[in-house]
Amino acid sequence: MHTPLRSLAVAVAVTASLATSVASQSLLDRTPNLSGGWVGERGTLQFNFLHRFSVSDAPTRKVTNTPTFLLSYRLPFPLVIGVNYATSSDVVTTPALPNEWEGFARYARFGGAVQLGYNQAAKSADAEISAGRSVGPVRLLAVGRVLSKGYGTDTTRYAIGGGARLKVHRWIALAGDVTSLLDRRPGEKAAWGAALQLAIPYSPHTFSLQVTNTTTGTLQGASRGVDKVRGGFEFTIPFTLSRYFGRKKTAEGGAGAAAGGTAVEMRGMAFAPTRIEVTAGTTVAWTNSDQLPHTVTADDGSWDSGPIAAGATWRHTFSTAGSFAFHCTPHPFMTGVVVVK
């Protein structure tokens, strides 16, 4: 078998063996140059701003900025469609095409993800298979990429990469990756990136401070390193459209559930109702209708749901009379009480 193909087969095998569930779209789950296979939360429009810059030598010390904007939408099934737009791109230099567009679709299944896209600057159909596996605070990532017309040439290029992130706190992670084109040409370096990944507490945003030798955030841009270190940051902004469009339907369901008197909904960063009265022996169900995880945690610590994913329901049976105040751990302003008679 031809060497690049064999290497790619190995990469795919490694990727497949790493496959476990892919977490939601957060910089805390990925590295600067690997997507981590995210597809985002259902009904969420995502706007990510990746900004990289380099500084030329003295005396000019010219700062060159290379921003990549991502706009994507997650469909009801695990498929995200999106477009990356980058300027000051160096993906295609002959002729110089500083504006780079990449449209793509990414589908997550069995813990891995497959991405198919088209890079307009390179006139190239590009694909990626990716996977991640979490082992405690460590998450390992692997990718294999095919660029049908790599960097504006008529040559199909292949790349393999791997990375890891170490979660050091609920809101802080360290991340790094290395990706290499197979059969690298002169001037082409292995791509690498290192980052401090931060969740912005009590918000759906994440932020990355990074250094890397890549330019843009497209598959082609993220597969090739150059002889220049860039600083950069990325900011992720999810817009939960389903919060606006899905409201009526869910509100009706909520009202119906409330009539039963044993259901609490988590919506719009609040419990509804905030107070519920039940008889001893009753099971209360909390359903998370938001697009981010919540918890139901007793103020006295006697019971705790742990993270309840978007759309999931958690139940707890109250066997003794009393008043049980609870809150959400990541959002302590979310409070409620169960009164058991």
Task: Choose between 141 and 328: whose C-beta lies nearer to Cu ion.
Answer: 328
**Rounded least distance, CB 124 to Cu ion, Å:** 43
Q: How far apart are CA 61 and CA 59, in angstroms?
A: 6
Task: Choose between 14 and 298: whose C-beta lies nearer to Cu ion.
Answer: 298
Nearest partner of 311 among 20, 36, 78, judged by Cα: 78
Q: Does 308 help bind Cu ion (rule: CB under 5 A)? A: no
Angle at 187 between CA 186 and CA 188, to 5 degrees: 95
Task: Choose between 74 and 294: whose C-beta lies nearer to Cu ion.
Answer: 294
Residues 173-202, mask of contacts with Cu ion (x by CB under 5 A): ------------------------------
**Rounded least distance, CB 249 to Cu ion, Å:** 22
DSSP secondary structure letter of residue 312: -
Write the CA distances from 202 to 171, 236, 243, 269, 305, integer angstroms.
10, 14, 18, 10, 18
For residue 69, give every residue at least 6 positions away whose Cβ sits within 8 Å of its Cβ, in sequence order, or none: 47, 48, 49, 50, 84, 85, 86
Q: What are phi and psi of 337, to 5 degrees?
A: -145, 140
**Rounded least distance, CB 20 to Cu ion, Å:** 25
**Rounded least distance, CB 294 to Cu ion, Å:** 3
Residues 266-295, mask of contacts with Cu ion (x by CB under 5 A): ----------------------------x-
Compute how many residues bind Cu ion; rule: CB under 5 A. Answer: 4
Residues in 320-339 at the binding interface with Cu ion, rule: CB under 5 A = 328, 331, 334
DSSP-derived 3-state class of residue 311: coil
**Rounded least distance, CB 329 to Cu ion, Å:** 7
Total residues found in the chain within this entry = 341
**Rounded least distance, CB 74 to Cu ion, Å:** 20
CB 316, CB 284: distance < 8 Å: yes
Return residues touching Cu ion (CB under 5 A): 294, 328, 331, 334
